[in-house]
Structure 1
């Protein structure tokens, strides 16, 4: 069914494009219902002015446009990263190039054949402060800081030739201390870039995951040999929809929810625990459009989708949708009356309190309450 609708829309757009290219005298072929064109059936042929502008455009973008619903959902376009999404980046291969210079803290695997029997040279060695490798008490130290592995091997071999007859040296890099880990979570900044530590920043806004994976690998290529990169979205923060609940004259509430691509009206309302006391069953979706004053309004039958499991108005939400819940008119009227009457009640309350206080403090009240206490009026005579 979705493919049929897409084919129908493509046919409409192709016809529209033909008219743009061919002018007002061109002909367009479009499936128009029998009721729309008297005397015609099935396929109708007419001019652009008669068919496209009055019929085909209506079926392409008119009120009868197909809208994804609960049991007839659409697949959203390929996700493109935007601020402030959070990405999970894994770099499986961080192997330095052969031109990498050894630094303090690097671990190397060194093996030498032809050493003294009681003092072999084999195992892991760490480049110590000063850029030297300590070969042991009998051999001394060799300065290799800043040298490549191949050059460091030559330096060690030349150093051992002073004590050994024919040493054969094998040297390889096990761990580069100057390599900063990249794997982890990365936030897309306001400028659309991610920070890769000492390897700089990379602009990724607007890229798909595959595009970003290749871009990061190319960015790291000067530092590593054929790096393998994996990228996933940890938090979809850039795409969202909104739920606006009218507050019955006491202020509207606004909730922003992240968009994951599968939410319907029921899913959205479940995240705010349904309708509140002040809400009514008048609910609709306001879907924005790039063109001004052309937003799409989709009314929702709340009783139908909740009580009768009808799916016609349980629409699939899209990024930027506004799900608006109108207030109950009686509750709104009660709130409006309360706003109007509350100041008057306060004035009357203050007036009544002031009058009562003045009457208590005036006349014989002060005299009768002084001395031995209160005397009832019936006993004063």
Structure 2
């Protein structure tokens, strides 16, 4: 599916884990295992009656139905090996088969075995049964939705730049405007006619001094030197057309030189002025980082606000800003680094923290692409993961999409290999056994340290006592 519809980009599936028949079955079996572990002796008739009454209350399910419904629990088949546990009881008429006591064990052994089996049943239920069923239901529902995924990608809306994106801005034409004033250091081309006439006896050097035709440097004081025959004229800050009028007026006026010579006073001088270099004062080219305030720097031309704009809008804003400093400004704009839009990968540490990794959003990433950037799953991660998509402002509804990692990697099924959007969170759950091990270690470690300190202190005291008792006379015995 290729499109720009918002519905395709915003549709999500919410996965809610609900207890099913597997959980109910294993809880019932665990309860019957625990109750059946109650020792029954001939001298305690009240306890035996209590156990039989409890077993009648707990629903009884055929073992074959349980095995067919929960194929992931091979531990339940071990119940056949322990017929002395009386899991379903002889008094139950709902069991299609009978139990014969073939193993004689004490009440203590029966209790230990029953509790172990009950613990394994509940652990298996929490580890696979409920989650797997909910995951399959959610995946089946998401396969019928229009959520973009691999082989059915959607077009991303027009990208809007934001801090700290890096833009590539190139000024195509860098020409000074016609109204730009002449500055010190500029070269101007000045041509003048109807000035001092040539004398036939003048040498070539004298003729050259009487000629005004060439490039002239504007000095630091803003004047241009026309040679010893005509003197200097201040032209800084004036445009080319204004300089023409200034020079024509200057040449029409008589001036007295320092050497007492009079120059100027020409009747109809003709002056032409142009810039030798029409290039702009500074070339705009290269990388431009969007500042936290949303502006980009254009050097001596100042700054322009571009945050939240598309590339076309950025181009228009930059050209409009350069209009006063560059003649017919034309720029090319592109995004060099997509830094503002991110994808978050959160890895559960199993009770010892969570690791967050950010990836830049470029528009075509899928779940598999994102996990490939962190080299797949960590040793403590499970294959239980989902995408949490940001909900609209003002809503508290979670938008989650489950991910079937095995189907994506081993089977090549693209149903849950979703196309990622800006702000998506991929949460990777930790392995339940690793989390349990970390929890047990966290709980027992303080007590282990206390007991270790007690044992160390006890051993030290005994060593001191034994050293004192084994000492000999003369004061030479003892620990020291």
TM-score, normalised on structure 1? 0.73
1:127 aligned residue: 218
1:25-67: CA deviation from partner (whole Å, max 9, x where unpaired):
xxxxxxxxxxxxxxxxxxxxxxxxxxxxxxxxxxxxx994311
> Following the alignment from structure 1 to structure 2, what is the Cα–Cα distance between the partners of residues 93 and 139?
37
Bigger proportion of residues as strand: 1
* SS of 1:286 mapped into structure 2: strand
> Following the alignment from structure 2 to structure 1, what is the Cα–Cα distance between the partners of residues 219 and 420?
60
> Following the alignment from structure 2 to structure 1, what is the Cα–Cα distance between the partners of residues 144 and 185?
69
**Which of the numbers 342, 348, 364 marks the counterpart of 2:445?**
342
* SS of 1:229 mapped into structure 2: strand
Bigger proportion of residues as helix: 2
CA contact (8 A) 2:349 2:355 kept: yes
CA contact (8 A) 2:280 2:325 kept: no
> Residues 271 and 139 (structure 1 numbering): CA distance in 2 closer, same or farther, change over 3 Å?
same
CA contact (8 A) 1:103 1:178 kept: no
**Which of the numbers 122, 142, 147 marks the counterpart of 2:233?**
142
> Following the alignment from structure 1 to structure 2, what is the Cα–Cα distance between the partners of residues 69 and 241?
16
* SS of 1:248 mapped into structure 2: coil
2:329 aligned residue: 227
CA contact (8 A) 2:176 2:279 kept: no
> Residues 374 and 179 (structure 1 numbering): CA distance in 2 closer, same or farther, change over 3 Å?
farther
* SS of 1:92 mapped into structure 2: strand
1:112-135: CA deviation from partner (whole Å, max 9, x where unpaired):
567854446555433211101233
1:237 aligned residue: 339
* SS of 1:336 mapped into structure 2: helix
> Following the alignment from structure 2 to structure 1, what is the Cα–Cα distance between the partners of residues 464 and 192?
110
> Residues 364 and 245 (structure 1 numbering): CA distance in 2 closer, same or farther, change over 3 Å?
closer
By how many angstroms is 1:315 displaced?
1.0
**Structure 1, unpaired ranges of 5+:** 10-61, 376-381
> Residues 321 and 117 (structure 1 numbering): CA distance in 2 closer, same or farther, change over 3 Å?
same
2:244 aligned residue: 153
1:83 aligned residue: 163
Larger Rg: 2
2:458 aligned residue: 355
Q: Does 1:186 align with 2:288?
A: yes
1:261 aligned residue: 363
**Which of the numbers 345, 352, 359 marks the counterpart of 1:250?**
352
By how many angstroms is 1:280 displaced?
0.5
2:119 aligned residue: none
> Following the alignment from structure 1 to structure 2, what is the Cα–Cα distance between the partners of residues 143 and 369?
116
> Following the alignment from structure 1 to structure 2, what is the Cα–Cα distance between the partners of residues 251 and 374?
54
CA contact (8 A) 1:87 1:232 kept: yes
Alignment of structure 1 residues 207-356 onto 2, 5 Å:
207-290=309-392, 292-356=395-459
CA contact (8 A) 2:470 2:477 kept: no
> Following the alignment from structure 2 to structure 1, what is the Cα–Cα distance between the partners of residues 241 and 473?
111
> Following the alignment from structure 2 to structure 1, what is the Cα–Cα distance between the partners of residues 471 and 279?
95
Say what the alpha-carbon RMSD is for the aligned residues. 3.5
> Following the alignment from structure 2 to structure 1, what is the Cα–Cα distance between the partners of residues 288 and 415?
41
> Following the alignment from structure 1 to structure 2, what is the Cα–Cα distance between the partners of residues 143 and 337?
89
By how many angstroms is 1:254 displaced?
0.8
TM-score, normalised on structure 2? 0.59
* SS of 2:334 mapped into structure 1: strand
CA contact (8 A) 1:82 1:188 kept: yes
1:268-308: CA deviation from partner (whole Å, max 9, x where unpaired):
00111110011011111111221613333221111121122
> Following the alignment from structure 1 to structure 2, what is the Cα–Cα distance between the partners of residues 268 and 370?
78
